[in-house]
Amino acid sequence: MLGSMKHTPQDGFPYYFELIRDEDLHALFSTLSTFEFLESIDEKTGAHRSSLDKWSIKQIVGHITDHERIKMFRAFQLSRNEGVELWGYDQNSLVQNARFDELTMKQLIEDAFNVRKASSSFIDALSEKQLRTTGTARQYSITLEEFLKSIIGHERHHINIIKRRYLSDI
């Protein structure tokens, strides 16, 4: 699948959305596969870095959760006001100023799961009209539904990195 993609991670939204394709929004936010995968990672492995200058697996999990929190707030704003600019953020600063490596994998997964439950609750309350509301992410005009799906695309991107670059070298 990755070999046939038009976009790269540097493209941001289009790449993440491409990882999702035409999957159902509610199904994307209700699947437990990411949490089940993360629960298979022990503490020692959670502290692993693929190289000294890369985030640990724990930091990646924390980043995925931070990303969803930030994007869900922006999705909330978009659902209430058409035409919102969906700005970016400095992921490295957020990770550097967090204490993800001090937390256990269990704590990080529980936090991610709680954020997901809140996200799902929000999504379940949206109307079809709200899901068609448009905003701008970088130079792309996107619907709220596309924006929400890209959150899971971002998650998949990082889970793929953990599987390919982190767990293959242990």
Span 53-95, pLDDT tens digits: 999 999 999 999 999 999 999 999 999 986 777 778 899 999 9
Mean pLDDT for the chain overall = 92
pLDDT score of 170: 65
Q: Is the pLDDT of residue 2 over 70?
A: no
Of 136, 20, 22, nearest to 77 by C-alpha is 136
Encoding tokens for residue 25? 């929004």
- Higher pLDDT, residue 138 or 89: 89
pLDDT score of 6: 86
pLDDT score of 10: 82
Q: Is the pLDDT of residue 44 over 60?
A: yes
Q: Is the pLDDT of residue 1 over 50?
A: no
H/E stretch holding 34: helix 33-39
- Higher pLDDT, residue 134 or 86: 134
Task: Kindly give, in sequence order, each residue whose CB lies less than 8 Å from that of residue 41, ignoring residues fewer than 6 positions away.
Answer: 57, 105, 162
- Mean pLDDT of the 19-44 span: 96
Q: Taking the CB of residue 25, how many other CB atoms lie within 10 A of it?
A: 17
φ, ψ of residue 85 to 5 degrees: the values are -85, 125
pLDDT score of 3: 53
The CATH class of 27-40+54-166 is mainly alpha
pLDDT score of 17: 86
Task: Kindly give, in sequence order, each residue whose CB lies less than 8 Å from that of residue 123, ignoring residues fewer than 6 positions away.
Answer: 25, 26, 29, 148
- Higher pLDDT, residue 53 or 139: 53
- Mean pLDDT of the 116-137 span: 95
CA distance 152 to 159: 10
136: left (phi over 0), alpha (psi -120 to 50) or beta: beta
